[in-house]
Amino acid sequence: MQIIENAVAGKRYVSSSTRRVPVFNPATGEQSAELPLSTLDELNAAVENAKKAQIAWGNTTPMKRARVMFKFKALLDQYADDLAREISKEHGKVHDDALGEVARGIDCVDFACGIPHLLKGEFSRNVGPSIDSYSDRQPLGVVAGITPFNFPAMVPMWMYPAAIACGNAFILKPSERDPSAPMLAWNLFMEAGLPEGILNVVHGDKEMVDGILDHPDIKAVSFVGSTPIAEYVYQRGTKAGKRVQALGGAKNHMIIMPDADLDQAADALMGAGYGSAGERCMAISVAVPVGKDTADALVAKLKPRVESLKIGPATDKDAEMGPVVTKMHRDKIVGYIDSGVEQGAKLVVDGRGFKLQGYENGYYVGGTLFDNVEPEMKIYKEEIFGPVLSVVRRDSFQDAVDLIHGHEYANGTAIFTRDGDAAREFADKIEVGMVGINVPIPVPVAYHSFGGWKRSLFGDHSIYGPEGIHFYTRLKTVTTRWPAGIKGGAEFSFPSVK
């Protein structure tokens, strides 16, 4: 049985903890590894090593840090297939989906390669008599990331490449459910020449999360997960004096206007709703067709598509959707479907009871489609995080917008239309952090930043891109005057331009 190791100070080792949890292959239901839940002493040792290593790394020129990033990116490109297989083995997503995850993570490393330019400050000459002023962005020290199961390679790369390029040392606590992909990425970063102690991986559960949030030498924490945990992380971390960016849950709506290309909209909903078995914080889980005719036609187009979804393990090259991550999560999704039926939603396609020959013990849920869902229903209000798409019918564009505004989450949204006026009004007025116009999953590219509004994000900074650089650095502004420009006599008034 494989034992998942920690990685601290450039070395991998098995935790001394007596607390261990199994890691499963969701496609088969079989245990594939065992994960020790690290002790707080091991966290303290990791932070102490990181603190020492960061001093030299923070003083390393941005150009030299960028060269390590370039080597890391080249190795990620070379071993992308291996990383994707590690993801599929423990998460369950099909290989092409896992490969896409790796590619989006590599994009963030690519962005971090530009760190010499990204850290350039501003300079102003003669802000006062013979006085110049300039700004500088400096690293925080030791920072940490707590990442979810649904993107075990990409989400950590939303965090540590930027943080490390900025001159920080990083402590990563991955999900207990799929820890192997982050370990392979750590191997590649070390092979790229990253100094020992700059990236450390310490596995654990809530005890480790609390240890990170309370540790006085960890200056900032990035988190991605559910809203209740994101709020907890934000409150506990900021109370301890840390910077915190905590990305929470979502209930992403897609409005389908009467003038939309319905085949295009239905295809978009299939990928956005059922890709990665719906285990995405940017999945579209609510379709909002405007008008009865639009709704009837959309559901008619969706039904056969959902029924014909090709579901299977990642080893099946034809599979479009794999299993969900754990048996417990599968049962939770089935419970949501039960609730939808009980509360009166129309179950158009039922994914309960799906079994795959040869993989009967796998954690599969079939694609599920509901119609006539109402806002008071549990399946609408809560994030299901599974292959369940709800159709909520609305009579007008404004009714659809009001529906979105009434939800507690505001992560992502989309509209499908040929009407430029409607699209522009939607983009301008909708109170959601990420918006797609005829794009179902509007995840920003790596040189922009990712983040929702309302209860989808706690903290003042979105993640990765320019916002990531700001989060992992602090601003220093220096005002200078040299003796040749100083006249005799004391100055008692506040300095100003005269």
Dihedral pair phi/psi, residue 434, rounded to 5°: -135, 130
Residue 498 scores a pLDDT above 90: no
Residue 387 scores a pLDDT above 70: yes
Q: 288 and 238, same structural domain?
A: no
Q: 228 and 349, same structural domain?
A: no
Tell me, yes or no, whether 491 lies in a domain: no
Tell me, yes or no, whether 276 lies in a domain: yes
Q: 320 and 193, same structural domain?
A: no
- 154-165 and 95-112 helices, crossing angle to 10°: 10
Q: 276 and 420, same structural domain?
A: yes
Please identify which residue in the block is written with the tokens 């920080």: 168
pLDDT recorded at residue 453:
97
Tell me, yes or no, whether 443 lies in a domain: no
Please identify which residue in the block is written with the tokens 């969900």: 324
- The mean pLDDT of 451-460, rounded to a whole number, is 96
pLDDT tens, position by position, 133-168: 999 999 999 999 999 999 999 999 999 999 999 999
pTM above 0.85, yes or no: yes
Cβ atoms of residues 314 and 322 within 8 Å:
yes
Q: 185 and 117, same structural domain?
A: yes
CA 296 to chain centre: 34
Residue 497 scores a pLDDT above 60: no
Q: 239 and 258, same structural domain?
A: no
Pick from 29, 47, 30: nearest CA to 38: 47
pLDDT recorded at residue 483:
75
Q: 402 and 470, same structural domain?
A: no
- The mean pLDDT of 228-246, rounded to a whole number, is 98
Residue 494 confidence class, pLDDT cut points 50, 70, 90: low
pLDDT tens, position by position, 427-446: 999 999 999 999 999 999 99
Q: 99 and 139, same structural domain?
A: yes
Cβ atoms of residues 369 and 377 within 8 Å:
no
- The mean pLDDT of 10-25, rounded to a whole number, is 97
Tell me, yes or no, whether 445 lies in a domain: no
Q: Which of 108, 113, 166, 281 is catalytic?
A: 281
Helices marked H in 79-179: 80-91, 95-112, 115-118, 154-165
Q: 423 and 321, same structural domain?
A: yes
Could you list the residue range(s) of the whole structural domain that residue 81 is in? 2-248+456-478
DSSP assignment of 266-331? HHHHHHHHHGGGG--TT-EEEEEEBSHHHHHHHHHHHHHHHHT--B--TT-TT-SB---S-HHHHH
Pick from 4, 175, 20, 34: nearest CA to 91: 175
Residue 490 scores a pLDDT above 90: no
pLDDT recorded at residue 129:
87
- Look up 281 and say whether it is catalytic: yes
pLDDT recorded at residue 189:
98
CATH number at residue 410: 3.40.309.10
Pick from 17, 4, 204: nearest CA to 86: 4
Tell me, yes or no, whether 484 lies in a domain: no
Residue 91 confidence class, pLDDT cut points 50, 70, 90: very high
- The mean pLDDT of 97-104, rounded to a whole number, is 98
pLDDT recorded at residue 485:
57
Instruction: Could you list the beta-strand ranges (E) of 162-217.
Output: 169-173, 199-201
Average pLDDT score, the chain: 96
Instruction: Decide which of 386, 405, 437 is a domain's last residue.
Output: 437
- The mean pLDDT of 349-360, rounded to a whole number, is 95
Tell me, yes or no, whether 22 lies in a domain: yes
pLDDT recorded at residue 114:
98
pLDDT tens, position by position, 39-85: 999 999 999 999 999 999 999 999 999 999 999 999 999 999 999 99
For residue 145, the cross-strand partners are 172, 222
Q: 406 and 335, same structural domain?
A: yes
- At CA 433, angle to CA 431 and CA 438, rounded to 5? 90
pLDDT recorded at residue 482:
86
Q: 279 and 155, same structural domain?
A: no
Structure-token pair, residue 407 = 């939800």
Cα separation, 457 vs 465, whole angstroms: 16
Cα separation, 154 vs 450, whole angstroms: 13
pLDDT recorded at residue 495:
62
H or E, element range at 24: strand 20-25
Q: How many domains does the chain have?
A: 2
Q: 21 and 142, same structural domain?
A: yes
Q: Is 427 exposed, middle or buried (0-12, 13-18, 19+ CB in 10 A)?
A: middle
CATH number at residue 116: 3.40.605.10
pLDDT recorded at residue 327:
97
